[in-house]
Structures are given as structure tokens and as C-alpha cells.
A = this chain, B = another copy of it.
Amino acid sequence: PEQILKELSQDIVEIITNHHSAIVSSRAFHPEDTIIKTKHTIIGGDHFVFMAGPDSIESPEHVLKMGQKVKSAGATILRGGAFKPRTSPYSFQGNGEVGLKAHRAAADTLGMDMVTEILDTRDVELVDFYTDIFQVGTRNMQNFALLKSLGQKRKPVILKRGMSATIDDLLNAAEYIAAGGNHQIMLMERGIRTYDNKYTRNTLDVSAIPVLQSMTHYPVIADASHAAGVAKFVSPLALAATAAGSQGLMTEIHDDPEHALVDGAQALTPAEFFQLAEKVRQIHQIVQ
């Protein structure tokens, strides 16, 4: 009877299984690690990168001050949002080009690379004018029009995993960028949506880090800030991601979390980030 049963169910299984077809992105196609070099940073392989900064660009002075703090802790890439994808249309949507300018100025002053999120295909040229690295957020991981646009660029792209994206979905989304000829791609694990969301915002899927690294040659970075959603759990998650083999961390910081314009609850203070970075470096030494 098992044979009969197997035949009966086989047609179903074949139809709904999504085999990933991320050819260019696969290790089978490109066995060695991809190394991405920007002006101030080397990403991939055994290198470990710290990207940090405020959630949103609040003012030229603030982003500069935050940049100084994270640089002193070892960060070489300054993160910050000028276009913010907010759940509600009535929440602060970011400072737009004014924010991009302030972000660029701070990065230049400090000798850091700049990374910022892109939300709209119509903004690609504008953001490209300012940034060193594009970031595609979790809500746009399958915004294929946007991915295709970035595939035409020759700048690194951080692709954040969608809230309920499978490993195959993420690899296929990366392939949309790669298919355009842009192979400077970083994949970012940032927590997935599960039934368990009372005490943390998302569930950091640390297993995605070694799984992805076994399947693709792109660097894999973790964002513990959005996974935790509350500051006091950011550090344990960041340490866990590092121990699992993450090749970098993106971390949100703020000197006055209670008055941050966006997501203050999950921001580390500069002092907390400094301590975290120290431990991260030690753990990376052990596991690399």
C-alpha cells in the first residue's frame, strides 16, 4: 500500500514544491566566497563588518554624532534611513533627500561608507547619487521591479530577508539582482515572523546563516535590532548570530532612545554598542 500511496501523493508534492533556481547565486556555480570591497570596508570571507547608526536620519548634527560613536566602536559603514517604510501612513516617513544629504556629509566627514534603504524604483537615481550601498528592506524583498533596477547598478546591495521568506525565496530574490549583472550582494537575516512574538518582535533564525553560507557565496550579515525589537535582547541575539558564523552585524543605536523618531525601543546606546562590539570581535575570532 505504501507504493500506491506514494504514487497518489506524488503529483501534489511535485506541483507545490518550489525548487529554487538561483543559479548564479549558488556555490555550485561559484564555490569561493564573494568579497565585496567599498572605499572603507572589505566584506565577505573571514572579514567581519560592523554597520551601525540611527534608525532614521534625524538631523545633520545627530547623524554625525552617532557616526562618531559607532566608528569609535569599530563600525566602517554608517547606516540611516531617509525613506522609512512605516506600517501606518500617519507615522513619520523619513526626511527624504534632506536626510540623504546629511547622511552623505556625515559619512564623508568620518571616512565611512554609507548605506540607506531604497523604497521606490523612481528613487533609484536619487539614492544612487548619495549612497555607497543600497539596502532593500524586508517588505520589498519580492518587489521584483526594484530588484531588477538595482541589478542594473554596479554598487553593493544589502537584501534583507522578507518577514516570511524561505531560504529559497531569498536566494531567488538575490538572483533577480544578479541576473542584471550586479553580483555585489549581501544577504541579511533579520528575524522571521512566527507564532512566538510576545516578547520579541520577530524570531531571529540563526540557522539561516550557516544554511545560506552552504548554498551561496554571498556574505551573510545579521540585523539583531529588528529581530529583537527591544534593546535588552539585541546584544544576546547579535552575539548568537556572530557565533553562528555571521559575517557582519547591522545595529541601530541612539543616544536618547526614548526620543528617537523611529524604533527607539530597539536602539542600543553608544556605550552598549561599544561593549557589544568588543565581545563580537572575540567570538568571531573563535568561530571563523
- A interface residues, Cβ below 8 angstroms from B: 1-2, 4-6, 8-9, 12-13, 15-16, 18-23, 26-29, 85-91, 119-123, 139-140, 142-145, 148, 162-164, 166-169, 172, 175-176, 179, 192-201, 203-211, 214-215, 227-230, 232-233, 236-237, 239-245, 265, 279, 282-283, 286-287
- Tell me, rounded to whole Å, the shortest Cβ–Cβ distance linking A19 to chain B: 8
**When chains A and B are docked, how far (Å) is the Cα of A90 from the Cα of B19?**
12
Say yes or no: A179-B122 contact (C-beta < 8 A), given A15-B230, A28-B5, A265-B16.
no
- Tell me, rounded to whole Å, the shortest Cβ–Cβ distance linking A48 to chain B: 14
**When chains A and B are docked, how far (Å) is the Cα of A203 from the Cα of B205?**
6
Query: Are B16's CB and A1's CB within 8 A?
Result: no
- Tell me, rounded to whole Å, the shortest Cβ–Cβ distance linking A137 to chain B: 9
Q: How many copies does the complex hold?
A: 4
Say yes or no: A237-B206 contact (C-beta < 8 A), given A193-B195, A194-B192.
yes
Question: Chain B residues near A287 (CB, 8 Å)?
Answer: 236, 239, 279, 283
Query: Are B204's CB and A207's CB within 8 A?
Result: yes
Question: Chain B residues near A193 (CB, 8 Å)?
Answer: 164, 195
Question: Chain B residues near A241 (CB, 8 Å)?
Answer: 240
Q: Residue on B with the closest CB to A237?
A: B207
The 8 Å CB contact of A207, one of B120, B143, B228, B283, is: B228
Residue among A15, A123, A176, A241 with most chain B CB within 10 A: A15
Query: Are A164's CB and B167's CB within 8 A?
Result: no
**When chains A and B are docked, how far (Å) is the Cα of A176 from the Cα of B89?**
5
**When chains A and B are docked, how far (Å) is the Cα of A61 from the Cα of B242?**
39
**When chains A and B are docked, how far (Å) is the Cα of A237 from the Cα of B119?**
33
Query: Are B166's CB and A198's CB within 8 A?
Result: yes
Question: Chain B residues near A27 (CB, 8 Å)?
Answer: 8
**When chains A and B are docked, how far (Å) is the Cα of A88 from the Cα of B239?**
33
**When chains A and B are docked, how far (Å) is the Cα of A134 from the Cα of B232?**
33
The 8 Å CB contact of A194, one of B179, B203, B279, is: B203
Query: Are B240's CB and A179's CB within 8 A?
Result: no
